[in-house]
Amino acid sequence: MDKIIESLKFDDKGLMPAVVQDWKDNVVLMVAYMNKEAVKRTLETKKATFWSRSRQSFWVKGESSGNIQELKEFYYDCDADCILLKVNQIGDAACHTGYRSCFFTKVKSALDTEIVGERLFDPDKVYRK
């Protein structure tokens, strides 16, 4: 484990981006950030675990919503500075807004965007206050 983690090149904040892809159809669900410990926890627990830059804490994806991501495959790139996870997305939707993918905003033209896909859950119901 340490051998693999030591070969990864984290940035000056100790982080690197991780692309999360649905292992069933290769849809890109989200991008989040990992530090060494998040990589370790993800590989050990087989649940995608990130470092939340806004909350400055570890974040097991799906902890609140139940929509966890079971790790199927773990890759890193030719520069060893980016990770790709293939996951089994429980509950289908990865995005906290209720969309399947965080990439639901498509640039349609120079001035216009459109929303693609549909909400799979209502965030107000899932993330209770």
* Binding-site annotation: residue ranges: 77-79, 81, 95, 102
Cβ atoms 16, 33 nearer than 8 A: yes
Q: Report how far residue 125's alpha carbon sits from residue 76's, in angstroms, rounded to the nearest whole number.
A: 36
Number of residues engaging its own copies in binding (CB under 8 A): 37
Q: Using the rule CB under 8 A, which residue among 6, 56, 78, 128 binds its own copies? A: 78
What angle is formed at CA 65 by the lines to CA 63 and CA 70, rounded to 5 degrees?
Answer: 60
63 near its own copies, rule: CB under 8 A: no
88 near its own copies, rule: CB under 8 A: no
Q: Residues 20 to 49: which contact its own copies by CB under 8 A?
A: 21, 25-28, 30-31, 43
6 near its own copies, rule: CB under 8 A: no
Radius of gyration of the chain, Cα coordinates, nearest whole angstrom: 15
Known binding site for Mg(2+): residues?
77, 79, 81
Secondary structure class of 42 (helix, strand, coil) = helix
